[in-house]
Structure formats: structure tokens, C-alpha cells
Amino acid sequence: MKYSIGTPPFETYGIADTGSDITWTQCKPCTSCFDQSLPLFDPKDSSSYALVSCDSDTCSSSQSFGCGTDDECQYEVTYGDQSSTVGDLAIDTLTLGNTSFKSVLFGCGHENSGTFSSDTSGIVGLGGDGATSIIYQLDKKIGGKFAYCLSPDANSTSHISFGPDAVVRGTGAVSTPLIKKAEQATFYWLNLERLSVGGKSLTVKSPSVSISGRRAGGIKQASVEGNIIIDSGTTLTYLPSDLYTSFESAVKDAISATPVSDSSGLFPLCYSSDSLEVPTIIAHFTGADVELSPKGTFVEVEEGLVCLTLIPNTNLGADLAIFGNLSETDYIVAYDLVAKTVTFKPSDCSKF
């Protein structure tokens, strides 16, 4: 996602992530950073940049924040794949499109590592934590509304919008309740009632009373309402193991071709890419049936090999499930934190 930070605006790109809160970018001086093809942000070049002090309310507003050695507030975040970022907590002007927002809290990362590509400078936090997420920081201007349309075509541009432009209505639009849990404020939860494969229905059992968060902290909750996290920052969709077993079986039954092995070992179900007939797969959320795009359901992971992008949650724990970004492709996905809904509308996102 393209955005600018500082005065004058310094343009950069970050991963738009509904599964994390703090927005951060790699900053000079970079003590230990991942390779970045974009220029690094230098806070000395911004006249509106200011560090957050240790004794401020902001510094005590999150477990990710703490006092550094120079009486300046530091942040530290570790993600579920063990990628991490450490740096100074600061405020500066954030520019989205033609609109600028003053005094936005963000992280100036000096030690960053993990699975970040060179095309990004960090993360744009679109999560639900009111202390740090830009969705809440910009709330007076955007009213808790944002939407994105993710294209499965690597050669086309996906789109994101905020405020009134993110309201989605019309033919094909379906809405489901957006569920927030106080113990896991970051995440946006949906309620997945069942999956269907080529007309065969698979019921989703209620989650167990103890499930742990995807990101650092291992927070647990005991509510059965809301059983899957919608997360633009996770690529694949993760299903509870028992549901995945019956789901995979149904997909195999619906495809006449013979499965082949994935050399990486990541994907349990793969086929030769020659004219694969992908069955109709529908995620039935409460009040919203979402037919998954075949382009996002099976993707080519190496030449001649396509694999199912819904996999078991083997390393996530218990019944935790995540609805990842490949399953969201070719839909306008609109979040309304005031109405507490997520709306899906089919769209060719490559021509949005």
C-alpha cells in the first residue's frame, strides 16, 4: 500500500495488514534491517517528526511499548511467523492519496527482520486496537470505514479506500457481523457457519473454549461467537484440522485429476496445472455466502504445479482459523467498524 510520511511527504510502501495494529517503516539509521529496494525514511528530513516520551500516556497505552535508554519510548512487535520490528515510537504527518493527517502515531524501525520482501518498507496497521491502529487514529475523518479489492493478477494493481469511498452497496453485496473481542482487540472476527464444495456442505463446529492468538502474547478467550479471523496480512487460509480433513476430502472427490506432491511440503493438496477444473467453493458466513475465486483457491506455486491455498492450522493451535488474502481476491471487502459489519461484493479487482 502506497502512503507518505513526514513533511515534506516521503513516499513509501507498506503491507496493508488487518491483523496487526502499529504502522511502521524502516528508518535511518538502520542498525539491522531487511533488504529494501525503496529509499529509507530519514526522520531528520521531516520537520513534523517528533519522538514520543517515556512518561507520556501513549507510551503506557500498549504492551508493545516501553521506555528506552534515552528517555524515549520504544516499540517492539513480533509476528506469528517470527518476523519482528524494534524502533522508536514517534508521531508525524501521514498522507493517504491527497489527504494529510497530522500527529499520527507510528514506529520508526531500526531493527527489523523476517519474511519481508524488498518491495516493502514495513507494515500499515489496519487492526482493531484503538490505541495504535490508523483506522482509529483517523476515525474522525474516515468514520471507521475502509475497503480493499485484491487482485489475483500480479501484473495489476489492487486498491484500498477509506471513509465514504469505502461504502459498498448494490447487486451481489452481502454482509456479515464483524465481531470484536476485548481480550484480542487487534483481530476482526467473523462467524463461519459452514463450507460447501461443489454442493457438498461441511458444518463448522463451534470453537473450543481456549484458543490462542496468531501474534505475540498468546492471549486466550472463551467465547464461541466469532470463529475465524479475517486477515489481509496472512496469505493462506487456515482451517481447524478436523474441518480441513473433511474439506480436503470433498475437494478431492470433486476433482477428477490425480493429486501430485508439493516438493516444499507446505501444501497438502496439489495438482498438475493442466486445465484443472476447480469446484465451486463457498464460505458461508453468518448472513453472507462468499464464493471463493478459483484464482485465489488454487495458485501456481512452481511451474506446472497448482496447490490448494486453504490448509490446516497445524502450527496455530486448537481451533484457530484465519481467512487469508488469497481467499479474499476479486471481492471488494468493506469494513464498517461503526455498523460492525464486513461486506463482500464480487468484483474484477484487476479492473477496479
If you search the block for the grid coordinates 504527518, which residue do you land on?
93
Task: Identify the H or E element spanning 306.
Answer: strand 305-308
Q: Out of 88, 129, 231, 330, which one is annotated catalytic?
A: 231
Q: Exposure pattern of 133-148 as b/e (b: 16+ CB <10 Å)?
A: bbbbbbbeebbbbbbb
If you search the block for the grid coordinates 500480479, which residue do you land on?
154
User: Which one, of 235, 247, 195, lies nearest residue 324 by Cα?
Assistant: 235
Q: Report the distance separating Cα 16 and Cα 2, nearest Å.
A: 9
Q: Which residues pair with 335 in a beta bridge?
A: 146, 342
Catalytic, 231? Answer: yes
Q: Report the distance separating Cα 280 and Cα 45, nearest Å.
A: 52
User: What is residue 3's three-state secondary structure?
Assistant: strand
Catalytic, 88? Answer: no
The residues annotated with a catalytic role in the active site are 17, 231
